[in-house]
Structure 1
Amino acid sequence: MPEPAEMNGPDLAKMGGASGNEGKDSVANGHAENESDPFAEYMWMENEEEYNRQIEEELLEQEFLERCFQEMLDEEDQDWFIPARDLPSVGQIQQQLNGLSVSDSNAEEILRKSMLNPEAKEFVPGVKY
């Protein structure tokens, strides 16, 4: 077995601190906790691009779902009968009624040109003749 002075970091980690460093715990990378890795505080940046891509995908998915939901609501609104939206206003109805007129002068001409039988019985629904 090599002497403690000859052991490197991983060998010390395997030994569990039996080489005289009982007060110091070793870490998986072979460095003791009191030894600070100069890049330890930047290790989160290692997967920063993957994390950003994942967050961007989640935001795009959320935006897509909101857009789909809004389209669904718009389609549903079109299917429903909403009197305030679907019925003409009172002013429009009044204008249409003002445009209507009844004149007797055309009635006589229409009767003269008519091909209907004036002697025919009156039609009553559901009655057989």
Structure 2
Amino acid sequence: MPEPAEMSRPDVAKMSGGGAPGNEGKNPVANGHAENDSNPFAEYMWMENEEEYNRQVEEELLEQEFLERCFQEMLDEEDQDWFIPERDLPSVGQIQQQLNGLSVSDENVEEILRKSILNPEAKEFVPGVKY
């Protein structure tokens, strides 16, 4: 916007288009643009492509929604792949029930030893030691 000191210049004061270059001889309109004598609806020409603009904005919104949905699905799949103890491990009550169901008995030990093909006289295996 020209400074008030610049408005007092004789060449600017003579302009009827509000002092904007290229608007000489054109009357200013309420919106600040120069009036176009050839087309009285020039200020409304943006509405000509309003449907195309609306379609483009709608496509952009749908694309953004699609990307957000894909991103959320990706996060959900990633959560399923990760080990989360609270979700993936049984509760303490379930573990306690399983432990209560276990028992050790000496009844079958003799029978298992008779059927075994292991050598009771063999040395104890120690990893990394050669015999």
Q: TM-score, normalised by structure 1?
A: 0.64
Kindly state the Cα deviation for residue 52 of structure 1 after the two structures are TM-superposed: 1.8
Matched, 1:121 2:104: no
User: For 1:3-22, what aligned pairs fall within 5 Å after superposition?
Assistant: none
The alignment partner of 1:105 has SS state of coil
Kindly state the Cα deviation for residue 71 of structure 1 after the two structures are TM-superposed: 1.6
Matched, 1:30 2:32: no
Kindly state the Cα deviation for residue 40 of structure 1 after the two structures are TM-superposed: 7.0
What is the CA–CA distance in structure 2 between the aligned matches of 1:42 and 1:105, rounded to whole Å? 99
Kindly state the Cα deviation for residue 76 of structure 1 after the two structures are TM-superposed: 2.6
Q: Which residue of 2 aligns with 1:54?
A: 56
What is the CA–CA distance in structure 1 between the aligned matches of 2:118 and 2:75, rounded to whole Å? 53
Q: Identity rate of aligned residues, in percent?
A: 84
Q: CA RMSD in A?
A: 2.7
The counterpart of 2:104, out of the listed 102, 105, 115, is 102
The alignment partner of 1:125 has SS state of coil
Q: Which residue of 2 aligns with 1:78?
A: 80
Q: Larger radius of gyration, structure 1 or 2? A: 1
Structure with higher RCO (Cα < 8 A, 6+ apart)? 1
Q: Which runs of 5+ in 2 are unaligned?
A: 1-23, 29-33
Q: TM-score, normalised by structure 2?
A: 0.63
How many residues are paired up?
A: 103
